[in-house]
Every structure is written in structure tokens, then in C-alpha cells.
Amino acid sequence: MLKRVNCFICERESLSQNEVGLNKKLISQNVSKFHCMDCLADYLEIDTDDLLERIEDFKDSDCPLFE
């Protein structure tokens, strides 16, 4: 079971497994401060729809970080 993590930018509570997985895949496996989907999109300067597509790609490749 994953521990509950919050966005360190906007402080949104209880990020999803997919949001945590994106942080680990796109920032660092050892990331200690997590972004919610919106803040991660802002940080990476991309659209949240692009992040949602990435999640589907990671799921299709059976990455265990995504539900």
C-alpha cells in the first residue's frame, strides 16, 4: 500500500498512484517531493492531456507504477 502523499506546490492531498508514478517516471525514481497532475504539467510546461496520454502508454507497457 502506498503512503499518502500531497502536492508540495498546491498542497492537494492524497495524490493518486498514477500521479506518484508520473513523478517517479518523469522526474526521478527517488523523488521526495511530489506534484499533482496540474502542477506537474506546469512544471514540465506541457498540457495535462499529454500527461494522461503518457499514463496510458506506461499502463500499456505494463509499468508497475501505474494502476
The per-residue pLDDT for range 44-60, each reduced to its tens digit, is 999 999 999 999 999 99
pLDDT band at residue 1 using 50, 70 and 90 as cut-offs: very low
Domain of 57, in residue numbers? 1-67
Q: How many domains does the chain have?
A: 1
* pLDDT beyond 90 at 3: no
User: Residue range 15-36: average pLDDT?
Assistant: 95
Please state the pTM of the whole predicted model: 0.88
C-alpha cell at 21: 508514478
* pLDDT beyond 90 at 64: yes
Residue 13 phi, psi dihedral angles, 5° rounding:
-90, 155
**Please, which residues bridge with residue 34 across strands?**
7
